[in-house]
């Protein structure tokens, strides 16, 4: 029973680690305080559910979820860059709209997924949990490799430079609008993928499953950045972000196992996040100064 619970927590931590990497791209590379993940997480899950219910293979369904998240990121970029609405409000508007979009896609507020519509297939219990864990490890490792290669590429270096100082866009002869579109698409694509993977974990999709997701990913990202001693190596930073998400989920799991009522879960998340900031204020004030979107 303990091994089963640990595999579930580790799997959930990896899912939210993927989410945290997406938030890391938006918040730290682009310096864009994006609130879209609350909506793109649900959109990815709903798009996945609809695709597999129509007979699409679950692996292709994950690609559909990734694409749906990318589209959500492009919507936020459009509202921000073309309509000139501030970043926080842009993400909030799109996230709010995606609540209805997810419902329209499903045609109802929630959808159960049986074993035919998930990656693990006709297995259950500890076997299903371990099989999903292997899939999650492979996906997270592949994601870290791709993000690391992208971040070291010429395009990735320009993106981070423009995020650090938007005035450099003119000096470098690049379009900050194009960088915003691509970065938010990539970030929310990962969030949409994590939503679809969470549907594998819970065997269901619910349009309310994205509420507060941005905060969870943000907490994992901040914990990961605090853990990363060498922030110049992107692979180490991404691994640390995933580790931060796993630690955060482990802490909340232990709190609930200790008898904390389930209805206080989001209160616990808020208290933990405040505690993280208080600790970092004393021990890693340079990290907080580096979070220029705050």
pLDDT of 191 = 97
Mean pLDDT of the 226-236 span: 79
- pLDDT of residue 117 exceeding 70, the answer is yes
10 Å Cβ neighbour count for 263?
7
| Whether 61 contacts 52, CB under 8 Å | yes
Instruction: pLDDT band for 146, please (50, 70, 90 cuts).
Output: very high
DSSP assignment letter at 25? I
Structure token pair of residue 167: 């005035």
Q: Hey, is 108 helix, strand or coil?
A: coil
C-alpha dihedral (47, 49, 54, 55), degrees to nearest 10: 120
Joined tokens for residue 75:
């919507």
Region 172-183 average pLDDT = 82
**Confidence bin at 140 (pLDDT 50/70/90):** very high
* Mean pLDDT score across all residues of the chain: 86
Can you tell me whether residue 244 is helix, strand or coil? helix
Average pLDDT of the segment spanning 244-249: 89
Residue 294 binned pLDDT confidence (cut-offs 50, 70, 90): very low
- Tokens representing 289? 């100064």
CA distance 240 to 242: 5
Tell me the C-alpha to C-alpha distance, in Å, between residue 39 and each of 10, 33, 92, 228, 272: 24, 14, 9, 29, 23
CA 123 vs. chain centroid, Å, equals 27
């Amino acid at each position: 029973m303990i091994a089963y619970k640990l595999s579930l927590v580790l799997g959930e931590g990896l899912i939210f680690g993927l989410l945290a990497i997406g938030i890391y791209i938006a918040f730290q590379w682009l310096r864009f305080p994006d609130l879209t993940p609350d909506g793109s997480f649900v959109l990815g899950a709903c798009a996945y559910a609809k695709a597999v219910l129509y007979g699409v293979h679950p692996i292709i369904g994950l690609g559909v979820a990734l694409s749906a998240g990318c589209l959500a990121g492009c919507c936020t970029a459009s509202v921000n860059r073309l309509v000139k609405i501030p970043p926080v409000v842009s993400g909030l508007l799109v996230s709010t709209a995606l609540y209805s979009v997810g419902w329209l896609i499903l045609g109802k507020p929630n959808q159960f997924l049986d074993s035919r519509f998930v990656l693990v297939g006709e297995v259950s219990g500890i076997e299903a949990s371990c099989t999903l864990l292997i899939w999650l490890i492979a996906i997270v490792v592949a994601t870290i490799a791709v993000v690391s290669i992208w971040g070291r590429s010429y395009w990735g270096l320009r993106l981070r430079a423009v995020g650090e100082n938007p005035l450099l866009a003119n000096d470098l002869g690049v379009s900050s609008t194009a960088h915003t579109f691509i970065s938010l698409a990539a970030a929310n694509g990962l969030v949409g993928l994590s939503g679809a993977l969470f549907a594998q974990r819970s065997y269901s999709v619910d349009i309310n499953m994205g509420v507060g997701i941005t905060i969870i990913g943000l907490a994992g990202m901040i914990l990961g950045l605090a853990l990363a001693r060498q922030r110049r190596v992107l692979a180490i930073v991404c691994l640390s972000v995933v580790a931060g998400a796993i630690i955060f989920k482990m802490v909340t799991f232990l709190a609930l196992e200790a008898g904390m009522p389930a209805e206080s879960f989001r209160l616990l998340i808020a208290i933990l996040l405040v505690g993280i900031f208080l600790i970092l204020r004393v021990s890693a004030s340079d990290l907080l100064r580096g979070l220029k979107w705050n």
